[in-house]
Amino acid sequence: MKVKFSKYQGTGNDFVLIDNRNGNIAPDNFSFIEKLCDRRFGIGGDGLMLLENEDGFDFRMRYYNSDGKEGSMCGNGGRCIVAFAYRLGIISEKARFIAVDGEHEAKIITSEEAIQVSLKMIDVSDIEIGEDFYYLNTGSPHFVQFISDHENFDTYTEGKKVRYNNRFSEQGTNVNFVSIEDQGLRVSTYERGVEDETYSCGTGVVASAISASFKINRNNFKIQTKGGVLEVHFQKITEKQIENIWLTGPATHVFDGTLTT
C-alpha cells in the first residue's frame, strides 16, 4: 500500500501528517506510528497526526507522540494540522475540528513569509499552585517551574527528574521551565511521550503563560521557545477560571513524501 504523508513543523515541534479520511491507517497500529516517527529508521518527528472525517466538524485530529501512543492535546500539532487541512483544501481561513480534549476553532493568518495559525484552546479551571510550581491541564498536563535564566540550564535532566518522580511516573507529565525576560517569557519543555526536550510545546507555552499571569498582571505573552516565537492571550474570568485562550504562531510545511508499506 502507498501512503502519502507531509512533514510540518511549528516552532521546531515537528510532525508527520497523514490524510486518513479513507481510513487506510488503523488508529491502533501503534508500532507502525512509532516507526514513522523514528529519526533514524523512519521519517522522524516529535509526533504524528491522522486527519480523519468527523460528522459536524471540518475534521478530527488524532495525535500520537513519537513513542507511538495516542497522546493528549498537542497545541503545535493542532496548528500544523489546520495548515495541512488548508493546503488540502478542506478548510478556508477558519476551521472547527475535534481533538482528544474536545472542540477547537482556528484561524489562518497568511503573510508573505509563512502561514500563522491561531488556535483556540480548552478553558482551564483546575490550577494547582505549589510552593515552587504550577500544575495545570491545557489539553495536556503541564508542570511549570520558574527559573532565573536558561543559560546553562539542563532541561532534559531536570525535566526527566520531575516526569519520573513518585507523583508523575505512572501517568507522566510534560515539564516546562520558564524565565521571565524583558520581551516576555522564555520556555523550555521536556515532553512526555517524546521523553526528551522538544524545541517547543504549544500546550506547554499556554500553561507557562497562565502560570506567569500569577506573577505578572498580564493576559497576553510573547514566548521564546528553542524553535521560535509563539503568542498566547486569554481572559481571566476569575483568578483560576481562564477562558478564550488563543495560541498563535507559524505552522510550516517542510516536505511531502510517499511510503510503501
Ligand X SMILES: N[C@@H](CCC[C@H](N)C(=O)O)C(=O)O
Residue of 22, 40, 10, 20 whose CA lies nearest to 198 = 10
Site string for ligand X, 13-52 (x = CB under 6 A): x---------------------------------------
Closer by beta carbon to ligand X, 31 or else 258: 31
249 is in an annotated binding site: no
Binding of residue 202 to ligand X (CB under 6 A): yes
191 is in an annotated binding site: yes
Q: For the CB of residue 76, give the shortest distance to ligand X in the complex, in Å.
A: 4
Tell me the CA distances in angstroms from 149 to 115, 126, 180, 188, 255, one per residue in order. Answer: 31, 27, 8, 11, 35
Cα 92 versus chain centre, distance? 22
Q: Are 62 and 73 in contact (CB under 8 A)?
A: no
| Binding residue for ligand X, selected from 20, 203, 224, 252, defined by CB under 6 A | 203
Q: Are 4 and 258 in contact (CB under 8 A)?
A: yes
Closer by beta carbon to ligand X, 22 or else 156: 156
192 is in an annotated binding site: yes
Q: Are 119 and 246 in contact (CB under 8 A)?
A: yes
Judged by CB under 6 A, the chain residues 50 through 89 that form the site for ligand X are 65, 71-72, 74-77
Kindly report the three-state secondary structure assignment for every residue of 48-71: EEEEECCCCCCEEEEEEECCCCEC
Closer by beta carbon to ligand X, 72 or else 252: 72
> How many residues lie near ligand X (CB under 6 A)?
19
Cα torsion 137, 132, 248, 9: sign? negative
Residues contacting residue 185 through CB under 8 Å, at least 6 positions apart: 178, 179, 205, 208, 209, 212, 221, 222, 223, 224
- Nearest-5° Cα angle at 58, 53 to 59: 35
Instruction: Give the span between the Cα atoms of 181 and 30, in whole angstroms.
Output: 40
24 is in an annotated binding site: no
Judged by CB under 6 A, the chain residues 122 through 141 that form the site for ligand X are 140
Active-site residue, selected from the candidate residues 18, 51, 73, 74: 74
Binding of residue 193 to ligand X (CB under 6 A): yes
Binding of residue 155 to ligand X (CB under 6 A): no
Instruction: Give the span between the Cα atoms of 220 and 247, in whole angstroms.
Output: 10
Q: For the CB of residue 154, give the shortest distance to ligand X in the complex, in Å.
A: 19
Q: For the CB of residue 260, give the shortest distance to ligand X in the complex, in Å.
A: 29
Residue 74 annotated to the active site: yes
Instruction: Please give the positions annotated as active site.
Output: 74, 201
Q: Which residues are annotated as a binding site for substrate?
A: 13, 65, 75-76, 174, 191-192, 202-203
Footprint of ligand X (CB under 6 A): 13, 65, 71-72, 74-77, 140, 174, 191-194, 198, 201-204
Q: Which residues are annotated as a binding site?
A: 13, 65, 75-76, 174, 191-192, 202-203
